[in-house]
Chains A and B, each alone.
Chain A
Amino acid sequence: MKECKKYQKNLVAFLYGELQGDEKKSLESHLDTCSLCRSELDRLKEVKNGADSLNPEIENVMASIDWEALQEKISEAAFEEGTSMIRQSWLRSFLQSIFQPKLRPVYAGLFLGILIGAAVAFMIFRTPHLQVVKNGEIIVPQSFLEWAELEMARRNTIDYLERSQYLLLDFVQSSLDESAGFWQSNYASQKARDLLSKKKYINQQLDKFHMAKAKAICDQIELLFFELIQISEQISMAELKRIQDLIVERQVLLKIKIVKKELEKSEV
């Protein structure tokens, strides 16, 4: 019985011609001597016969099909739908070569990098704006106030430098005789005083926003104006000459120009 169980496991494979060599021979000789396994094989043959009972129907159905027409119909459907696909096959193979599965981690990393970069850039460069809520109230975020203050400092400094530049330019370009009259006139000394008082105002802003380069040149200008105003009433030619030479020697006008440009690009 134990032996039969072993052989019976192979009966289905034997029935369907899947048993070969020694296995097949061994089963065949067992079947010659074992009536139990032979009757088991007969039962399995009945299942096979049952399955064969569908054959006539299958043959009839297959005979009723116009295979030529079917083949034509399939081909027509494939080539109608697939024309554009075939035309684009080069594009498809190109895309397949680029988007290989092994490169997916690289693309994922790149994509992540771009996302993070974009987020950081957005945080840095976004212009703060006022938020107006529904009932008309305006919410002023701290970031907006800081941005506005920095922008004012920048503009005030540019204005201060520009006005100083013109005044100093007038002074440097004029002859010594003219310069004496120039500084003794109300026009120049008033302008210089205005600029000195403006400097007091922008001093705080320059310190707050660490605009060191701009502060250095503004301090130099302040000293110059201070000296010119102090001495304007009893100014001598020699002193005027010394101050003019100082401006040229220290390249004050050039420095003003550079710092102004940098400020205009917000690089200070």
Chain B
Amino acid sequence: MKPERVVENENVYTLVEKIKEGDREAFMTVTRLYQKKVFLLAFSYFRNKEDALDIVQETFLRFYQKADMFHKGRNFQSWLLQVARNICIDYYRKNYSRESTFNRERNIDEMNLPATDSNESHGSSDLKEPFSSCLEKLSEKQRMIFVMKHYNQLEYREIAQILNIALGTVKSLHFKAVQNLRALMSPYLGRQT
């Protein structure tokens, strides 16, 4: 899951300038370089391949339409992931918010609660579903920060840029996200918190 640092900013600026003039090749290059990063963010957030692919497509279409709004000096990856993040949130509110309460209830039932007398630690594959459900229970911001940090392996500094919040706030929200996940995961980790 190590995302490679794709391209130097100077090269991206050149590509974006070409895209503004309608260069299709440049657009395809940028899409090739960043589509996996956007997918990783969207898939980690939604845990659904089709939704994540929709997000990827919508993000690059939005980028193409708003390329004029990207100015030299900004970090392109942060800017693009900011666009992706906004689309994720809109998409979530449009398609998931109505069923979220129902799903949460259902997820708790489906979480294969461990026997109360069990003291054994679970293997990592057993943690997949419970962890996924616990992640969904985090607040929108904590969840997004956790996903960006853990799966996209972004630095706090980059997350702060994307979410347009202070570095200290990112650090504090990430801390809270991990603490909350630990509390939610405690029944599956075989320990008391």
Contact = CB atoms under 8 A, between A and B. Distances in A.
A-B complex is real: yes
Contact of A58 (B44, B53, B155, B185): B44
A187 interface: no
A53 interface: yes
B57 interface: yes
A127 interface: no
B64 A89 contact: no
Contacts of A58: 1, 40, 43-44, 151
A43 B32 contact: no
A98 to B, nearest CB: 15
Given A13-B174, A67-B35, A44 B182 contact: yes
Contacts of A78: 27, 60-61, 64
Interface stretch (B7-15, B76-84, B95-103, B126-134): B126-134
A72 B35 CA distance: 12
Contact of A46 (B1, B27, B174, B189): B189
A100 to B, nearest CB: 14
Nearest to B179: A12
B74 interface: no
Interface residues of B, number: 54
A75 B24 contact: yes
Interface stretch (A26-34, A80-88, A112-120, A175-183): A80-88
B127 A49 contact: yes
B161 interface: no
Contact of B156 (A15, A18, A75): A18
Nearest to B32: A71
Given A13-B175, A47-B182, A86-B22, A70 B127 contact: no
Interface of A is mostly: helix
A73 interface: yes
Interface centre among B32, B125, B126 (most CB of A within 10 A): B32
A57 B128 contact: yes
Contacts of A122: none
Interface in B147-193: 149-151, 155-156, 171, 174-175, 178-179, 181-182, 185, 188-189, 191, 193
Interface string A33-65: 000000000011011111111111111011011
A52 B124 contact: yes
A16 B53 contact: no
Contacts of A93: 68
Contact of B61 (A55, A67, A74): A74
A79 interface: yes
Interface string B47-58: 101001100110
A74 B31 contact: yes
Contacts of A242: none
B150 A51 contact: yes
B55 to A, nearest CB: 12
Contacts of A70: 35, 53, 56-57
B108 interface: no
A44 B176 CA distance: 12
A75 B25 CA distance: 9
Interface in A106-160: none
Interface string A174-215: 000000000000000000000000000000000000000000
B72 interface: no
B40 A82 contact: no
A29 B22 CA distance: 56
B64 A82 contact: yes
Interface of A: 9, 12-13, 15-16, 18, 43-44, 46-59, 61-62, 64-65, 67, 70-75, 77-79, 81-82, 85-86, 89, 92-93
Shortest beta-carbon contacts, A-B, top 3? A50-B131, A78-B64, A86-B22
25 contacts: A12-B178, A43-B191, A44-B178, A46-B189, A47-B182, A50-B124, A50-B131, A52-B124, A53-B127, A53-B128, A54-B44, A54-B128, A58-B1, A58-B44, A61-B49, A65-B53, A67-B36, A70-B56, A73-B57, A74-B35, A75-B27, A77-B61, A79-B27, A82-B65, A93-B68
